[in-house]
């Protein structure tokens, strides 16, 4: 199932992408007199019961075939696929070639850092460059969304705790990131964690073999595969859950392949500028697009 959150009538709605378009679940539930979750967090909290309720409404709408019940993607004002995670966890240097290009040691355990909810941005949303940042960079990443409480779970069972997967851009201001030995300042300004446009439920995704691509102004800058992660999704979840309780709706940025501007030779480093268009693609999830301002 391919899910989306979007803004309508000053509220965040939950939708499902179908061959007929995006179904507004709140409107459809009202028409069919069926109760459905109204946002992503509610759906995640309901688990399989929520999925079944959504499936039932989607099936009725598709069978009816009334295109008036569906929205075109171009008509949608996207919201982040998860709006208020308890935690945004990021993994640094999780591809060997990225660690090498960054001239840092290849980690022997996952390097975890955080972003905050202020950093969340949606597909199509403009990302503003902070006043004191000059070295703007992109990082294309697979993002996983936790579906149930995970505490001290094994790698073997870890993926069972994933609700779904989406696309993320770990936008980074390198001058701020390395101003001190803590990365937070360069990682968590407003809008520095775009995610979306869709969240695909875990039953439809193999996180071990996904191509991750980033284009800037149409030029391919990154192209890697999640099979080349140093620590795969299961290892990341298991590791993090040993030290903190992962809650439904938490999101984890799983690291970026090589090709970031930070990895260029200094004379070739041309940092992102206002107007630059960042597009990250992970099939079968979709394409996340944001413009710098």
How confident is the model at residue 185, as a pLDDT?
97
Of the chain, the percentage scoring pLDDT greater than 70 comes to 100
What's phi and psi for 272, nearest 5 deg?
Answer: -60, 150
What tens digit of pLDDT does each residue of 238-272 get? Answer: 999 999 999 999 999 999 999 999 999 999 999 99
* pLDDT of residue 100 exceeding 90: no
How confident is the model at residue 137, as a pLDDT?
98
- CA dihedral angle for residue 38, residue 56, residue 34, residue 45, rounded to 10 degrees: -40
What average pLDDT does range 162-189 have in this prediction? 97
Domains and CATH numbers, the chain: 2-78 (no CATH), 80-292 (3.90.850.10)
Of the chain, the percentage scoring pLDDT greater than 90 comes to 93
Contacts of residue 168, Cβ cutoff 8 Å, sequence gap at least 6: 140, 141, 142, 143, 193, 194, 195, 251, 253, 280, 288
Of 172, 155, 156, 149, the C-alpha closest to 255 is: 172
Q: What is the DSSP letter of 107?
A: P
Q: What integer best gives the mean pLDDT of the chain?
A: 96
- Is the separation of the CB atoms in 69 and 23 below 8 Å? yes
How confident is the model at residue 5, as a pLDDT?
98
What tens digit of pLDDT does each residue of 187-245 get? Answer: 999 999 999 999 999 999 999 999 999 999 999 999 999 999 999 999 999 999 999 99
How confident is the model at residue 199, as a pLDDT?
98
Map residue 51 onto helix, strand or coil.
Answer: helix
How confident is the model at residue 103, as a pLDDT?
83
| pLDDT level of residue 96 (50, 70, 90 thresholds) | confident
């Amino acid at each position: 199932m391919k899910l989306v959150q979007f803004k309508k009538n000053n509220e965040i709605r939950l939708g499902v992408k179908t061959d007929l378009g995006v179904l507004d679940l709140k409107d459809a539930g009202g028409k069919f007199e069926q109760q459905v979750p109204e946002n992503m967090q509610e759906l995640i909290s309901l688990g399989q019961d929520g999925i079944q309720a959504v499936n039932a409404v989607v099936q009725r709408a598709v069978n009816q075939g009334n295109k008036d019940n569906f929205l075109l993607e171009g008509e949608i004002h996207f919201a982040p696929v998860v709006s208020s995670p308890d935690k945004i966890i990021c993994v640094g240097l999780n591809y060997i070639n990225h660690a090498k290009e960054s001239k840092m040691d290849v980690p022997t355990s996952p390097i975890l850092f955080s972003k905050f909810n202020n950093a969340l941005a949606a597909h199509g949303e403009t990302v503003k460059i902070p006043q004191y940042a000059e070295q703007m960079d992109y990082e294309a990443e697979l993002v996983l969304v936790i579906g149930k409480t995970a505490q001290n779970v094994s790698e073997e069972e870890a993926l069972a705790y994933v609700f779904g997967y989406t696309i993320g851009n770990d936008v980074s201001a390198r001058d701020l990131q390395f101003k001190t030995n803590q990365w937070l300042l360069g990682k968590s300004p407003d809008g520095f964690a775009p995610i979306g446009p869709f969240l695909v439920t875990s039953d439809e995704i193999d996180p071990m073999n996904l191509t991750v691509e980033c284009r800037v102004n149409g030029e391919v800058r990154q192209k890697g595969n999640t099979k080349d992660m140093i620590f795969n999704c299961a290892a990341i979840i298991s590791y993090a859950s040993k030290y903190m309780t992962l809650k439904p709706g938490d999101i984890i940025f799983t690291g970026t392949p090589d090709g970031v501007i930070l990895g260029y030779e200094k004379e070739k480093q041309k940092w992102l500028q206002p107007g630059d268009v960042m597009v990250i693609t992970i099939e079968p999830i979709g394409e996340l697009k944001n413009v710098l301002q």
